[in-house]
Amino acid sequence: MATEISDAIIRVRDITVQFGKTRVLDGLNLDVKRGEILGFVGPSGAGKSVLTRTIIGLVPKLSGRIEVFGVDLDAASASERRGVERRWGILFQQGALFSSLTVRQNIQFPVREYLNVSQRLLDEIMVAKLGMVGLRPEVADRYPSELSGGMIKRVALARALALDPELVFLDEPTSGLDPIGAGDFDELVRTLQRTLGLTVFMVTHDLDSLYTACDRIAVLGNGKIIAAGSIADMQASQHPWLREYFHGKRARAVMG
């Protein structure tokens, strides 16, 4: 992982994160290439979400450097940082839709705040985004509490995509979805990546997602990246956790 990748969109160097006395991330290095879908796996509690939240700045780090779009986030001024934040979209594990706003308002919220465009364009873009995530315009005036789990994920993705970001973070996008819904979601992420030229950083537990959606896989263990590469590299790896993960009962079922 020490090799430099020239067109890295996210560059994480020597990140250490500690909660109290527990060291969650310990000198971690990671590069995410422009235009790829990176699947990020690891045992529960290994710190996958912590890394995501550290990159987007929600968790303070002890040491290390994070560059997104070539901007060092620690050295960036407030306006540079806002510029970076406008170029990424984040899908939280539980959706994190604003519960007192309708679907329409949720999707339009970031657009309305950042761009001074007409209500007509806001509405049209909202319908376009809903269409992209496979929802019908009729759901626009519902509240998040009136949506199913899969719809919440889709609306949250539409909100993450509202400003046409170049980079999206997906935190367990398929957890809590039925296998067919999850398959659709993987397909959707692939399609969007192709149409919009997105870079996707996806934390997942779903083997199907790794096989169908991801270009590259990074594995977290003991606070470090223990392996990164294609799905074939992962299967060939001798690391005990990887062997268990990719050759276990569930993995065999997925591979057929």
Residues engaged in binding another protein (CB under 8 A): 98-100, 104, 111, 114-118, 120-121, 123-125, 127-129, 131-132, 137, 140-141, 143-146, 161, 163-164, 194-197
Residue type, 169: F
Pick from 78, 25, 77: which is nearest to 48 by CA?
25
**Nearer to another protein by C-beta: 26 or 166?**
166
Instruction: Report the alpha-carbon distance of residue 170 to residue 92 in Å, rounded.
Output: 7
CB of 138 to another protein, least distance (A): 8
**Nearer to another protein by C-beta: 75 or 117?**
117
234, 218 contact by CB (below 8 A): no
**Nearer to another protein by C-beta: 140 or 227?**
140
- Alpha helices, DSSP H, located in 115-205: 119-132, 149-160, 179-196
CB of 197 to another protein, least distance (A): 7
CB of 112 to another protein, least distance (A): 11
CA atoms within 13 A on the CB side of 175: 13
User: How many H-runs (helices) and E-runs (strands) does the chain carry?
Assistant: 10, 10
With tokens 């996958």, the residue in question is 48
CB of 14 to another protein, least distance (A): 33
